[in-house]
Amino acid sequence: MTEKRGIRPEDLYKLKSVTDPRLSPNGKNLVYVETQISKEKNDYSSNLYFINLDQKVPVAWTFGDKKNHSPRWSPSGDELVFVSNRSGKNQLYKLHLNGGEAKPLTELENGASKPVWSKDGKKIAFSVALKPEEKLGEKQEDEEKKKDEKDKELKPLEVAEMKYKSDASGFLDGKQSQVAILDLETGEITQLTEGVHSHNAEDWSPDGKQLLISSNQDEEKDFSFNLDLYIYNLETSDKKALTEGKKGMFYGASWSPDGKYIAFLGNEREYENATLSKVWLYDVEQNSSKCVTADWDVAVGDFVAADFQQGAVGPGLIWTEDSKGFFLQISHQGSTQIVHYSLNGERASLTPGNEHVYGFTVNAAGTLGVAAVSEPAHPGDLYQLDIKTGHREQLTAVNQEFLAEVELAAAESFVYKGAEGWDVQGWIMKPFGFKEGEKYPLILEIHGGPHAMYANTFFHEFQVLTAQGYVVLFANPRGSHGYGQQFVNAVRGDYGGNDYNDLMAAVDYALETFDFIDSERLGVTGGSYGGFMTNWIVGHTNRFKAAVTQRSISNWISFYGVSDIGYYFTEWQIQADLTDIEKLWKHSPLAYTDKMETPLLILHSEKDYRCPIEQAEQLFIALKRQKKTTKFIRFPESNHELSRSGKPNLRMKRLEAIRDWFAEYV
């Protein structure tokens, strides 16, 4: 038997992720997306796979190095629509259950995405990006288009709004998402919405005469963070507000099969972006809605912070065909679970709660499900679930060969006392080749957000560190999701306060509890908020031998004006603006560089608009001016998502830099 090895950064090229499982309505067939990375092309490719649940043999339905994703079954279950960039832009394609070539459904200048079938299977609503004055189907002449592209390079960018850039999209081009409808019988495409506001299709009414649409119709966009739901009457073009008077974020709307109810997710932003999303129910006949999970102190949705799954899609709200209840996903106590909610108020968990369920689908009867599940020592696979008995059966084993050659570290969960005596959850991972009686260095990992959650899931970076002989410690300090509204809100206005104390208590607990940790060899790293906290830590304690700060915040004063979210995020989280420079500076790690003695590696992406690279530049120059031990690595053509979905070769370079810095200084 070949001896197993530890995982390496470049193993990302060998690993595959399986996401977005979709059961046909009768529950007999399954389609899902498998994604892998090409080292030669330095890019990701995704393809659709099919499983007949009687035969349980995965079969590739699309091929090649393009991105094929978002498969959606027709109501009859004999066809599916999906999105592919095989023509150069995302367009809609259709496949038949009996096989054959994929048929293109759209060939639009600006592409197409987010398909939603009508309940009779005759139409598909979808999204297309258009400028306010642009109409669907209009095409520029080739010469005119070339001239426009050339001129575009020379034009200055005129900015009149505060929301003019996005980490995901760069400088915004004025395009908004609009809803169009494709008639499958005639091939005719009708543009349903237009203008300066963005719209997205959510779901069709059972009779096909109405469409649920989400949109922010506020005229003042810079200080508007609302998303409302509307019922669009396709026969009269009338639009009725579903969430009128409820200022907040509402989304994920799903019509009950009997047409009597609309279930949706959302919140009224009582705690700004730290507000837990709830489930709401709209009574169509009574024209009234209510929050049906007001007494349930959990986060509805998947808030797990991880670095592996590509294109993971949550299940939303899935009604059973009898309209008596629906399935949904929650983040709770470091795990995600699928729960069934009955209209009589009963709730039942269908999954055990010690894992990350990052995708889920169910048949129309609500008796059979398929879950995409990951654990710390398992990247993820699909499992068939008998909803009545809870019995599950593994359907895929996409990384079987790879897992046979590597040894992955499990994560042991524990609960310790943080600041103010609060219970805080943490995890410890032992190093590769662990031997009783030996001492090992420890790396503390800190997640971003801060409103996210470390969980019982696979994390490639953690496995790379354990393979290098480190103990990995991670925890969910206050501000994290998964532990109720008070817990997730507690960090606001207290950055560097009790969140810092929670993390230091995790280190203290680990040193007291696990005798295999070398207390003299500690390292710390984190990204985004975790990068802020890494900076804060090395400015307030010298207990760590080395630190790596990633895509971090160092100066809240400048962050206010340079981040794509700076002006409002700073006000929400630090609870100060430029009229209170003293408070912003008090919470800025840059103010404490004179106290930073820990060797600090600074990693940042050139095109990070969420935490712009000037945050790293300031920190690096301040430390170098004081002759501190530091190094700055800039990643070209990369944004805030480098560690999760960035260019594969740069993801490798990033992991190697972290590995080598700790090897040198811890």
Are 634 and 613 in contact by the 8 Å Cβ rule? The answer is: yes
User: What's the confidence (pLDDT) of residue 510?
Assistant: 98
Residue 485 pLDDT more than 70?
yes
Is residue 232 predicted with pLDDT exceeding 90?
Answer: yes
Q: What is the pLDDT of residues 450-470, one digit of tens each?
A: 999 999 999 999 999 999 999
What's the rounded Cα separation, in Å, for the pair 464 and 637? 24
627's CB contacts (< 8 A; 6+ apart) are none
Q: How far is C-alpha 427 from the chain's CA centre?
A: 21
pLDDT beyond 70 at 112: yes
User: What is the reported pLDDT for 147?
Assistant: 56
Q: For residue 209, give both structure tokens.
A: 């005469």
pLDDT beyond 60 at 144: no
195: its two tokens: 């203008």
Least confident of 95-99, 260-264, 275-279, 301-305: 95-99
* Residue tagged 């084993």 (tokens): 397
| DSSP bridge partners of 68 | 84
**Residue 545 to residue 540: CA distance in whole angstroms:** 13
For the segment 367-395, the average pLDDT, to the nearest whole number, is: 96
Per-residue pLDDT, averaged over 268-272, amounts to 95
Say what the pLDDT of residue 365 is.
92
pLDDT tens per residue, range 295-349: 999 999 999 999 999 999 989 999 999 999 999 999 999 999 999 999 999 999 9
When pLDDT is cut at 50, 70 and 90, the band that residue 49 belongs to is very high
> Could you list the active site residues?
528, 640
Average pLDDT over residues 553-564: 98
CATH architecture observed for domain 197-297:
6 Propeller (2.120)
- Average pLDDT for 164-193: 95
Nearest to 82 by CA among 93, 98, 67, 96: 93
CATH of domain 426-665: 3.40.50.1820
Distance in angstroms (rounded) separating the CA atoms of residues 21 and 360 = 6
Q: Residue 591 and residue 577: Cα distance in Å, rounded?
A: 17
Question: What phi and psi, each to the nearest 5 degrees, are found at residue 500?
Answer: -60, -45
**Using one digit for the tens of pLDDT, what is the confidence trace for 244-261?**
778 899 999 999 999 999
Best CA proximity match to 293, nearest among 308, 305, 276: 276
Query: Encoding tokens for residue 217?
Result: 């119709």
Mean pLDDT value across the chain = 95
Whether the predicted pLDDT of 101 surpasses 60? yes
- Residue ranges of domains in the chain: 22-118, 197-297, 426-665
What is the reported pLDDT for 145? Answer: 59
Q: pLDDT-derived band of residue 154, with 50, 70 and 90 as boundaries?
A: confident
For residue 190, count other CB atoms closer than 10 A to its CB.
13
Helices 460-467, 648-665: crossing angle, 10 deg rounding: 40
The answer on pLDDT for 1 being more than 60 is: no
pLDDT at 142: 53
Looking at residue 178, what is its pLDDT?
97
Q: Which helix (H) or strand (E) holds 489?
A: helix 485-489
